[in-house]
Structure 1
Amino acid sequence: MFTTKAFIKKTKIGNFLKNVREHYIRDDIFCGFSKCGKCIPMESCLSSIHQNKCSLFNFNHYLILDTNVILDQMDVIEEATIGNVIILHTVLKEVKHRSLPIYKRLYSIIENPSRHFYVFTNDHHKDTYITQNDGELINDYNDRCIRKACSWYMKHLPKEKFVFLTDDTNNRQLALKRGNSFLFNIFLVSEYVHHLNNNSILEDKLSRKDFHIDSNTKDVFPPHLTNVELLTGVKEGKLYQGTFRASRDNFLEGFVNVDAFNDPVIVQGRDGLNRAVDGDFVVVQVFKEEDWISPSEIVLEDEGVAEENIDELEIKERELKNSTHKKKGEIKPTGRVVGIIRRKWRQYCGILQGGMDGVYQLLIPADKSIPKIRIETRQAEFLRTQKLIVTIDSWPRYSRYPHDTKRRVDLRHIDICSVDPPGCTDIDDALHCRPVDNNKLEVGVHIADVSHFIRPGTAIDLEAASRATTVYLVNKRIDMVPDLLSSNLCSLRGGEERFAFSCIWEMDKKANIINTRFHKSIIKSRQAMTYEEAQMTIDDKSKVDSIAESLRNLNMLAKILKKKKIRKRVKSKSKIALVLASPEVKIQMDSETMEPLDVEVKKLFETNSMVEEFMLLANISVAEKILEDFPECAMLRRHPTPPSSNFDPLIKAGRHLGFEIKIDCGKNLAISLDEAVKPDNPYLNTMLRILATRCMLQAVYFASGTLQKDEFFHYGLAVPLYTHFTSPIRRYADIIVHRLLAVSCGSDSTYPDLLDKEKTSKLCQNLNYRNRMAQYAGRASVAFNTHLFFKGKLQDEDAYILYVRKNALQILIPKYGLECTLFLAQKGETSNIFEYNEEDQTQKAGNIVLHAFDPVKVRLSLDSNNIQHEKFVLQLVSPCIEGFSVPPLTEMEVVEKEKRRKLPNDERKSMTDAKSKMVESIMAFENKSFAGSTFCNLSKAFDCAAWYPG
């Protein structure tokens, strides 16, 4: 049930004009407590089991938050320690109005049932709704609504305990002053957090950024004018805009470059500078000409060591005033900063000032034009031995110095490890898994924070954008970023502290995601492991250390995630992920001659799949986040659905084997591939998946604002949204995604190009082209070294028919991952032995019929008559077809051939020189300096590989 209240306003112009605003008051709104016998029970996440463990109280309690607490202390609220929180609808609306990013962060917590937050619609409840008084400010009205709701909860549920958290001094005093004894549990957030169990992490996250300033706090600087006053003043010509430049010799003097004056406007002292930082775009009030002065000629250094004491500052100001002069001809326009239109704050490097105790420290920037910066840390003793990089977060008028807010979460205490291929030095990612309360697991994917080192618009950024990707050749890598970053500062090496960007999920043991959060972090990987080492650790039951348990839990969750995909195939009619295949080749090289010693297909372990599952999950989670916050300019990755004609070879091959390959949707294709199994041919299913891979289109990057949402779909992974977040050392797209995510998390500021969908789209075109060329170069490098390995060799190998052509068979040799052509007739001739059936896709010779995927044995050799177009020559060994097949090699023939393979020195030198020239051509640009503008075009490097087969 509800009632309606109408508010009527009359005007005095002409006849009365009635304006009616309706507000619905209900008597059936649930309080959120399941044990309440007065309300109609509904769904609520408030829990009697979860307890806020605060030493201020010896009882379980529920928190009610003031608006300013949410606006200021979101980092604290996001911690899982805080739970059983009642969010009043009045507060929720005010937060949304004042800060949309904070509102989104709060709403994500409210939607997470494990956090036990409940929204109470107090402004529509019959007992908590109050009308706004005439002339009452909206902030005062909202505060009154909050106090009313708190009062109601105490009376409505007298057996429950409530704590009201507020940092609004005025609101707190009013609640106590007016005899509200029911609100005796009122605390500042800092007081409450200080008494929580395990409070050290939360205290580090406390913000000192006050929206409501205590009336007893003494202002150090004058207030800025409002935006309306600034705009009006500029429009009327009373105020002027310009860029502020601070003096490097006098910390109490600066200049503002204003177009209306030939000379910069001088600003001096606290009133003149008024919290402007070098580079800010400000508004100045210019004094009357008789009050103009000359620039100072003295050097003043800031020697302050305590923010609260401004006596030293006042002494410096008097010294500056006494030295001020008005020399004829040297007088310049003089004024004061009255407002700041746009901050130019960036990251600043510096060291901590000595001689200070406690958590409040001063950072001295390396740039003398930047003021000292106030930070909070409990690691001052250690940090004094380090150079630090900080970002200014705010500069309130009651503070002598600007503040840094810590935006990087310290995760060095967590047991994190990386799992990569052997010999990997550019380690992009690391993982952890640890148990948390209530039988849950915390899973983290930590990615190298490359965007911290590569800032937008710098020379290194432009070069990385041009290269777009790291190119992997056999035993060689062409880095996208300098080796100092790729293999050292950014690489998440074991035992070393590194900056990272973390994606962290809270999961239950059935791999259901309860909560997701993102933040920049600092980590210390315990160990850099190979896939094989990680697998051995998992399998060795005698290992019970934290890393081993972490890996086992990660592997367990990864298997569940994969099983969920399989179950989804049965239950869901939607598209599902395809499990495809493509042979990856590993070439063993001689450490001295750098000649190939062996070629083999890479061995895969469960840990390969484990890492892949969590990288995919991280990429999907990040894609959802950046698209939510940047619907027009998010960099995403899509995989278009291939046309049905692309699948013709796959359909025909499956039909000949007795399988129906359905391609009407990704789900049916995946099921068809799963069911295409023959016990007598264990490699058949892999070959079908290889063939399916060849039917696909290329996955590409795109800007979200350039396509319709139904075109975002990734066909191969069967997910509606996908991006690349997990490999920023080797992919430039990931750097852009990191920058977008950093803005979403409040860890970094944006810049114009990042939000320009046209520029993002143009960048995507280059990324797509460079990635394709990098693939070609990598394949060419493998082909070249494979040819070197088989130079002069003759050997018989087990193989399979991949395709049946009119004049040839396409052969796959699994041992080496090679795909070669076995011609059935000489060039330009028709075979007299074989008969081709186009309908059945078969070749018949007498009683022998060759189908796709049939096992065969072939003789493999290399034709080097044309050094620029070396090619493999295949001969059929079995099945034996008279007049076409060759007899198997005897052991004696193999030995003799190997002897002849040992090349003379001049021929070996010629071959080595050819290889060196190829590598030098591809690597021509690598030794060039990264400093400076873009100087190379990767396509030139790739063109030199074009003459290699493949």
Structure 2
Amino acid sequence: MFTTKVFIRKNKIGNFLKNIREHYLRDDLFCGFTSCNVCKPEDTALSSNIENKSGLFNYPHYLILDTNIILDQMDILEEDVICNVIILHTVLKEVKHRSLAIYKRLNAVIDNPNRHFFVFINDHHRECYVPQEDTELINDYNDRCIRTACLWYINHIPDAKFVFITDDARNRALAEEENITTCSIEQYVRSIKENNLLEDKLAKRDYHVESDTQDLFPAHLTVTQVQEGIKEGRLHQGTYRASTSNFLEGFVSVDGYEDAILVQGRSGQNRAIDGDLVAVEIFKEQDWIAPSEIILEDESRVDTAVEEVLLKENELKEYSTGKKKKEKAKPTGCVVGIIRRKWRPFCGILQQDAPEGALYHLFVPADKKFPKIRIETRQAEFLKTQKIVVVIDDWPRYSRYPAGHFVRALGKIGDQATENEVVLLEHDVPHSKFSEEVLSCLPKLPWIITEEDVAKRTDLRHLDICSVDPPGCTDIDDALHCREIEGGMLEVGVHIADVSHFIRPGSALDVEAASRATTVYLVDKRIDMVPALLSSNLCSLRGGEDRFAFSCVWEMDKNANILKTKFHKSIIRSRKAMTYEEAQLTIDDKSRNDSIAQSLRNLNNLAKILKQRRLEKGALVLASPEVKIRMDSETMDPIDVEVKKLFETNSMVEEFMLLANISTAEKTLKDFPDCAMLRRHPEPPKINYEPLVKAGKHLGFEIKTGSNKELAISMDNAVKEDNPYMNTMLRILATRCMMQAVYFASGMFQKEDYYHYGLAVPLYTHFTSPIRRYADIIVHRLLAVSIGADVTYPDLLDKHKTSDLCQNLNYRNRMAQLAGRASVAFNTHLFFRGKLQDEEAYILSVRKNALQILIPRYGLESTLYLSQKGKKSIFEYNEEDQTQKYEDVVFHAFDPVIVRLALDSNNIQREKLVLQLVFPVVKGFSIPPLNEEHKRKVETDQKKTKAKKSKKK
């Protein structure tokens, strides 16, 4: 049977168009009950042997849910105690339309046969289908469809009992009028016998505000008001970013303004949290203010009363609106509406000071950019010992904190495995075990290379190829060779693991790798992008084993000029898997003249030439304080933290990987001008360089930022003999001025936008790490099609599909970087537990109430506060010179200091390193040194100070 709908609409040029839509209806759709005598019996998930356990309904019953119950209460529905649930197709479609993430979670429950969820196609059933009335809103129509299906089930299976769950009071009232048994989710959950504290997981959606409740925040504009305001240009939309150094400040980047819009204070932020898409109203220019240079960490939000926050807001306002500040004022505004929330599950702990037996508690997120969340729990004494997951449900304007609910406990606070789980969850890193479907795509062992494989590939097993990697590396995806050929030329090859041979497009393994996008490296573990059989075995170019590779081979002269480039699928056998240090020792050992040693020396010489050419073109040499943590092999506790040691061979490998990536980019773009996957690094806006230029000026250097070459030359020239680490710190600052390098589809940008600013090359991509980067797999596929080694498929040639894929790759790569840093930070804190150490350090920047300190030995950055809580600082801050002064001691950016490091564990959620000043000596502020070397330095400094004072007298 068909039902016909006719729609009349007017097109852009004024003509009326008639659309006729047919809706197919059937009367043979299975209801899900094997006991039914009417429907044709099929397999079903519903079970008469399983009962829902509700005190409200002391009889076997089946649940029917409305859309909002699924959208709001998915944490409840994922609990095993909820079973025998009928999901109507009307509901399933609406869930998919409104939240793809919830839709995927719901499907996972439906697919689990132990949960007994059944999908009924009510909207194509002849007796359940109802047409939408002309004036009927879509929500009212969907509610009517659901109630119609409930009534049909009641009449169709008279021996069964059905309960309709909805939190919509109007819908419940209409259902009761139609004699449908109904209740709210809260009523149902609270009635479940032995609910195992299921109530804690109820999303708090209904808020009943007393008439005398005082609003703490302005009301948000409605969706219609926001849309009208943006259309008229009175409002602007952008993503809100919370300041990491001041919890009372945030920024919103909007189109049409070079600077991000500053929002300050609770009213200005107006309940926006980091990542929300918000509507902002920009003030008149005379009301703009300057960003503060005050550090206000999240403890202010966590531990102080509202009155203290108000005092800090007033202090901040006075500081930001002073006469001198008007010259540095930035576009300023306030958040007036939320367009789309970026709420996600948050990891953290319960605040420990709640009174015993309290029902409501404050949850402190691990990430300090987010506010505390108010939750209701009946298991607080247990949860206070645990890292837990909480989600936000709402943030009413009368509440200082958003309201949320408990989801699950992760494990004991401070446990290494728990902390790893927190790092992965906080950075949205997919880390579940690979599914059976994914594992079924892997080759069976023993895996052997057949004669057919050899016939399809170039056999390079006769070449002296070797890999050079960090110690302990098991996912070896690149190897090198260099040999002399006719005419005194050199043949240089970069050989990359042929991962794309094992991962075929569209397979479950391919879909999983695309979703994960990258391998994530934590201090004590690795989250692989592909299963270990590939990452550490069949695709790893281990010494002495035959492996499939994708080779990029150049013919060069001895001045590193490329004469010819070719690509081919190959078979290689690495002679040896070497570490950077082993390779360096081989190069330096003059007694070694074997083919591997000669190959490495030639590669090293060529790499130096290639690097010099890059630098002459304006490639930047940047820096970041990267560290390596050595772990105890048995306890897995950190036993040392050290800056990573670099050799010439690090640079050697890097240069040839860069060259292979550039050559591949040129080849794939030539053959696929619209859908090549490339990597661009945008030039930063001039405003990004302000901290770097200001720091250079105070040191007496002019940092030019007109081009990457000017910047490189400026930084090369910024050298002080008495402060050898100063140039490194300048480069660290320069790194923080940079934009993020990103993947993109060539057809989505103009050619002038392809440029990679940091490398100073017009074209770049990633080809050299397919074991740990999905982008490289796509590039391999394009290259394979280009040389006739493989066939294409539709998605590979669709620039829009490639662009969508790039968005996920860019996001996952960024999260992987942050997860790695968070893991290092946690293990560094573990290393410092119970220790006091004096370390030589440098001032990275001078702030109004603190110094940002960099400790090179540990690659650590931390804050040295210059005043104690409630006390006025003895130092005088000079904003123009960016200095802090007390008597004869003046602190400038990049000055050397000695600080004492200690771990403050009072806040168990956010343990942090606390710094105290040892040198230079400031009376009443500095502390005595611990070791003899530092004591001598302090004594020498004190003698110099006394001598200066004597001369003045």
| TM-score scaled by length of structure 1 | 0.51
Instruction: Report deviation, 1:564.
Output: 2.1
| Structure-2 separation of matches of 1:889 and 1:814 | 19
Letter in 2 for 1:777: A
Q: CA deviation at 1:407?
A: 3.2
Q: Give the one of 663, 688, 706 matched to 1:621.
A: 663
Partner of 2:868: 826
- Aligned-pair distance for 1:565? 2.9
Match of 2:817 among 757, 767, 775: 775
Q: What residue number does 2:532 align with?
A: 483
Structure 2 unaligned runs (5+)? 1-442, 936-953
Equivalences for residues 535-614 of structure 1 within 5 A: 535-566=584-615, 568-569=616-617, 576-614=618-656
Distance 1:815 1:854 in 2: 16
Amino acid at match of 2:686: S
Q: Which residue of 1 aligns with 2:741?
A: 699
Secondary structure, aligned partner of 1:594? coil
User: Deviations for 1:274-311, whole angstroms, at most 9, x for unmatched residues?
Assistant: xxxxxxxxxxxxxxxxxxxxxxxxxxxxxxxxxxxxxx
| Identity level (%) | 78
Pair member with larger Rg: 1
Compared CA separation, residues 385 and 849, structure 1 to 2 (3 A): closer
Q: Deviation string for 1:314-362 (max 9, x for gaps)?
A: xxxxxxxxxxxxxxxxxxxxxxxxxxxxxxxxxxxxxxxxxxxxxxxxx
Instruction: Report the RMSD for the aligned CA atoms in angstroms.
Output: 2.0
Tell me how far apart the structure 1 counterparts of residues 564 and 483 of structure 2 sit (CA, whole Å). Answer: 15
Residue 773 (structure 2) aligns with: 731
Runs of 5+ unmatched residues, structure 1: 1-365, 367-383, 392-404, 570-575, 895-950
Q: Paired residue for 2:542?
A: 493
Residues 472, 686 of structure 1: alpha-carbon distance in 2 compared, 3 angstrom cutoff: same
Identify the match of residue 760 of structure 1 among 798, 802, 812: 802
Contact 1:502 1:520 in 2 (8 A): yes
Residue in 1 that maps onto 2:918:
877
Matches within 5 A, 1:216-235: none
2:467 to 396, 401, 418: 418
1:260 equivalent in structure 2: none
CA contact (8 A) 2:614 2:759 kept: no
Shift of 1:612: 0.4
2:580 pairs, out of 525, 531, 536, with 531
Query: How far apart are 1:439 and its partner, in Å?
Result: 1.1
Shift of 1:562: 1.7
Match of 1:465 among 490, 511, 514: 514
Matched, 1:852 2:893: yes
Shift of 1:893: 14
* Aligned-partner Cα distance in 2 for 1:481–1:669: 39
Q: 1:459 to 1:435 in 2, by over 3 A?
A: same
- Using the TM superposition, give the Cα deviation of residue 684 of structure 1 relative to its aligned residue in structure 2, in angstroms: 1.1
Distance 1:522 1:579 in 2: 35
Q: Taking structure 1 as reference, are residues 385 and 782 closer, same or farther at Cα in structure 2, changes over 3 Å only?
A: closer
Aligned mates of 1:713, 1:496 — CA distance in 2: 39
Per the alignment, residue 274 of structure 1 pairs with none
Q: How does 1:94-105 map to 2 (within 5 A)?
A: none
User: Does 2:475 correspond to 1:433?
Assistant: no
Question: Pick from 682, 699, 717: which aligns with 1:640?
Answer: 682
**Does structure 1 conserve the Cα–Cα contact (< 8 Å) formed by 2:614 and 2:760?**
no
Task: Return closer, same or farther for 1:815/1:459 CA change in 2, 3 Å cut-off.
Answer: same
Q: CA deviation at 1:561?
A: 1.1
Counterparts of 1:521 and 1:865 in 2: how far apart (Å)?
58
- Measure, in 1, the Cα distance between the counterparts of 2:788 and 2:578: 33
Equivalent position of 1:866 in the other structure: 907
How does 1:132-147 map onto structure 2 within 5 Å? none
Q: Distance in 2 between matches of 1:456 and 1:385?
A: 21
Query: Matched residue of 1:750: which SS?
Result: coil
User: Using a 3 Å threshold, how does the CA distance of structure 1 residues 491 and 829 change in structure 2: closer, same or farther?
Assistant: same
Instruction: Kindly indicate whether residue 786 of structure 2 is the aligned counterpart of residue 744 of structure 1.
Output: yes
Contact 1:652 1:840 (8 Å CA) reproduced: no
Q: Which amino acid in the other structure matches residue 549 of structure 1?
A: Q
Going from structure 1 to structure 2, the CA distance change for 1:469 and 1:747 (only over 3 Å counts) comes to same
DSSP-derived class of the 2:487 partner: coil
Relative to 1, partners in 2 of residues 1:385 and 1:511: Cα closer, same or farther, differing over 3 Å?
Answer: closer
Deviations 1:719-744 (A, max 9, x none): 11100000000000000000000000
Give the letter aligned to residue 920 of structure 2.
P
> How far did residue 806 of structure 1 move?
1.0
Distance 1:647 1:438, change over 3 A: same
Counterparts in 2 of 1:384-395, with a 5 A limit? Answer: 388=450, 390=452
Q: Which amino acid aligns with 1:466?
A: S
- Distance between the aligned counterparts of 1:487 and 1:557, measured in 2? 30
Stretch of structure 1 that moved more, 414-423 or 799-808: 799-808
Paired positions, count: 492
SS of the counterpart of 1:774? helix
In structure 2, distance between residues paired with 1:719 and 1:875: 45
Aligned partners of 1:748, 1:524: CA distance in 2, in Å?
Answer: 23
CA distance in 1, matches of 2:624, 2:460: 37
712 and 838 in structure 1: CA distance in 2 versus 1, 3 angstrom threshold: same
Alpha-carbon shift at residue 499 of structure 1 (Å): 0.4
Secondary structure at the counterpart of residue 804 of structure 2: helix
**Paired letter, 1:520:** K
Q: Secondary structure at the match of 1:406?
A: helix
* Closer, same or farther: CA 530–807 of 1 in aligned 2, 3 Å: same
* Map 1:110-129 → 2, pairs under 5 A: none
Query: Structure 1 residues 717 and 892, CA, compared in 2 at 3 Å: closer, same or farther?
Result: closer
Aligned equivalents of 1:826 and 1:745: distance in 2?
A: 67
Q: Aligned to 2:455, what secondary structure does the other structure show?
A: coil
What does the per-residue CA deviation read over 1:39-59, in whole Å, with 9 as the maximum and x for residues that have no partner? xxxxxxxxxxxxxxxxxxxxx
Change in 2 beyond 3 A, CA 1:386/1:475: closer
Counterparts of 2:736 and 2:933, CA distance in 1: 40
Which amino acid is the alignment partner of residue 645 of structure 1? I
Query: 1:5 maps to which residue?
Result: none
Q: Is the 8 A contact 1:415 1:525 kept in 2?
A: yes
Task: Measure how far apart 1:838 and its partner are.
Answer: 1.3
Q: 1:806 to 1:775 in 2, by over 3 A?
A: same
AA of the residue aligned to 2:803: S
Match of 1:504 among 553, 559, 580: 553
CA distance in 2, matches of 1:689, 1:611: 22
Distance 1:554 1:828, change over 3 A: farther
Task: Tell me the distance in 2 between the aligned counterparts of 1:387 and 1:428.
Answer: 18
Please state whether the residue corresponding to 2:765 is helix, strand or coil. Answer: coil
Are the structure 2 counterparts of residues 669 and 774 from structure 1 closer, same or farther at C-alpha, using a change threshold of 3 Å?
Answer: same
1:309 maps to which residue? none
Cα contact 1:808–1:823 (8 A) shared by 2? yes
Residues in 2 aligned to 1:830 and 1:603: alpha-carbon distance in whole angstroms: 43
Name the CA shift for 1:476/1:491 in 2 (closer, same or farther; >3 Å): same
Query: Could you say which residue in structure 2 is the equivalent of 1:843?
Result: 884
Q: Alpha carbons of 1:827 and 1:668: their partners in 2 closer, same or farther (altered >3 Å)?
A: farther
Q: 1:857 to 1:386 in 2, by over 3 A?
A: closer
CA 1:892–1:465 in structure 2 vs 1: closer, same or farther (change >3 Å)?
same
Call closer, same or farther: CA 1:662–1:893 in 2, change over 3 Å: closer
Cα pair distance change 1:442/1:821, threshold 3 Å = same
1:426 alignment partner, SS class: coil
